[in-house]
Chain A
Amino acid sequence: MNFFPIYCPNCRIPLPYQMYNTSGPANCPSCKNPVKAEIFPALFKETQSSAGDETMLLENEPGCFFHPQKRAVVPCALCGRFLCSLCDVEFGGRHVCPLCLAAGKKKKKIRDLETHRVLYDDIALALAIVPVIFIWVTVITAPMSLYVAIRHWKSPSSIIPRTKLRFVLAILLSGVQTTGWLFLFGWLISRA
């Protein structure tokens, strides 16, 4: 059992169990602030023992790809390798092997393993809007915004679904700025 004391987030004093799962907030005995502590059954879950992993392979039984002496319990949902209970990683409702898991994270093929994304649409839009206050800077930033918007049009954006509106706005705004600069330079050259 890996029991953890539930403590008040405000004063960090462990809360008595009488305060768990009350219908509304109850006052903390230490800081007197209202506290709502919602406890779930996972708190009492025993750590899985590894006894099942020790099951040895019998004749005509499928063996684990990584541990040939152990009995396979499930195939990998991505590569199909047979896995013992030690190698089986249950992830997002699928059973995958550690190699596929590592490859999925590295190649960003498994969305649920991603922990970081760059928002190119926000960058393109910021490059199209913010430098406008400095006017002259847009000579550089407008083409940069156009490049980022076109180059990363198909790059994954936020994990929360969003439209391409930011890219469209960035292209429109930076397009107007770039065109303006081109006209200005053209006019200056024609005068010279």
Chain B
Amino acid sequence: MTGKDSYIILPGRGLKKGGTALIVRTRARLYMGADHLLCLYNTGYTEDYKRFYYKDIQAIVASGTSKGKTLNIVLGVLIALHALISFLAGNPWNIIFPSIAVFFSLFLVINILLGPTSKSYLLTAVTTEELPSLCRLKNALKVIDLLRPVIETAQGRLSTEDIRLKSAEIQMREMPVSVPAGTRSIRRAAPSSSVGPVSNYSGIFHIVLFPLLVLCAAYSAVDIVMNHIAITYAGIIIISVTVIFAILSAIKQHGSAMQGGLIGLTWSALIYLLVHSLLLYGIYIFTGIMNPASMGSQAKMLLLYTSLDPFGNPFLMGVQVLSAAYYFVSGIAGLVLLKKFRSSPRGA
């Protein structure tokens, strides 16, 4: 056992979610002390501590999530696309695209080696604490196995049968008669606001967003094979409307009962839409710079941009192929996840 002032590092490290997560990365780790579990949040220059005494810990729950699988699929698609483009493109792209594919492959291998992702929380009589460091299921299971004996030493031991029997008794005693056991909350109806949903948003903006993403995929695909000013105008309108709906969806999903997959998909779609728009705008400006005669007129510049043939421009081809694939995959995945969410009790 540890001494009074020493701690044992527990497996797993992760990033704490929070308002400043994008600016300041708060790393989380767990340490096992003599009589308490220490949750340490490190911003790089400061540390914050939360202590959970073994005698107060009521439960530790860990659940696998699909985040890791989704990331594997996205990385796989990106690797395949970059490999494909590197075969099609000439110099110097046949060096750049394989390098990007190798870069993504490294992430894929690391993600596979780290194992399935998970979400975990610790429960005491007065608080529910998410444990960001236990973001991989194998680490969460290891930590539970390490903590079980010390918690049982502090609290005494109850057999699994006794725990289930006591839980069943309480559930039967405190629950409305018409509701089946173990399916509804009992006394404290919901977890604290930090973990429970606070809005009853049912996904109206997402219903518009995901078909629009599929439309963006169609635009990107058509833009590869057809060069017409009408298609360029249609593309500008479609992408602009999609960006607006992506922003509205990202705002409305905050604090709702939506799960990580749907939330992450919306954010990644918004980020990709902005990156795609910037890339196309960059190509548009670059084309103008290369043809100074057209710089004075927006219409001339648009015509010039429309006349660009992706088959003669590997970069434009790469951007549009990648975009068509990304919009299609995220649009369809979004529609599937949204259907699942709306048919669940949380989205109904």
Contacts and interface: CB of A to CB of B under 8 A. Distances in A.
Interface in A4-36: 4-18, 20-22, 24-25, 28, 30-31, 33-36
B160 interface: yes
Contacts of B345: 13, 30
A36 B123 contact: no
Q: Looking at chain B, what size class is its interface with the partner chain?
A: 35 or more
A93 B4 CA distance: 10
Contact of B148 (A14, A15, A17, A38): A38
Most central of A8, A92, A93 by chain B CB within 10 Å:
A92
B197 A12 contact: yes
Interface string B59-70: 111111110000
A10 B187 contact: no
Closest 4 CB pairs of A and B: A16-B182, A17-B167, A9-B119, A43-B58
Given A6-B123, A42-B56, A118-B46, A21 B40 contact: no
A43 B162 CA distance: 12
14 contacts: A4-B128, A4-B188, A17-B164, A36-B61, A36-B62, A36-B63, A37-B59, A38-B144, A40-B155, A40-B158, A41-B156, A119-B47, A123-B45, A161-B7
B325 interface: no
B164 A18 contact: yes
A12 B47 contact: no
Most central of A3, A15, A28, A34 by chain B CB within 10 Å:
A3
Most central of A5, A7, A36, A93 by chain B CB within 10 Å:
A5
Given A1-B170, A12-B257, A18 B63 contact: no
A33 to B, nearest CB: 4
Contacts of A37: 59, 61
Nearest to B145: A38
A126 interface: yes
B181 A16 contact: yes
Contacts of A20: 160, 163-164, 167
Interface stretch (A73-81, A109-117, A138-146, A170-178): A109-117
Contacts of A40: 57-59, 151-152, 155, 158
A50 B241 CA distance: 63
| Chain B contact residues: helix, strand, loop or mixed | mixed
Nearest to A113: B51
B3 to A, nearest CB: 10
Contacts of A24: 141
B152 A161 contact: no
B298 to A, nearest CB: 40
A4 B48 CA distance: 27
Interface string B256-282: 010110000000000000000000000
A6 B186 contact: no
Given A36-B140, A42-B57, A160-B31, A9 B62 contact: yes
B191 interface: yes
B196 interface: yes
A185 interface: no
Interface string B159-192: 0100110111011001000000111111110010
Given A6-B61, A16-B181, A39 B346 contact: no
A36 B148 CA distance: 13
Contacts of B346: 11-13
Contacts of A116: 46-49
A44 B159 CA distance: 13
Given A1-B170, A40-B155, A41-B156, A117 B47 contact: yes
A36 B63 CA distance: 6
Nearest to B116: A34
B344 A3 contact: no
Contacts of B6: 161
B123 to A, nearest CB: 6
B167 A4 contact: no
B316 to A, nearest CB: 34
Contact of B59 (A12, A16, A38, A118): A38
Most central of A6, A42, A115 by chain B CB within 10 Å:
A42
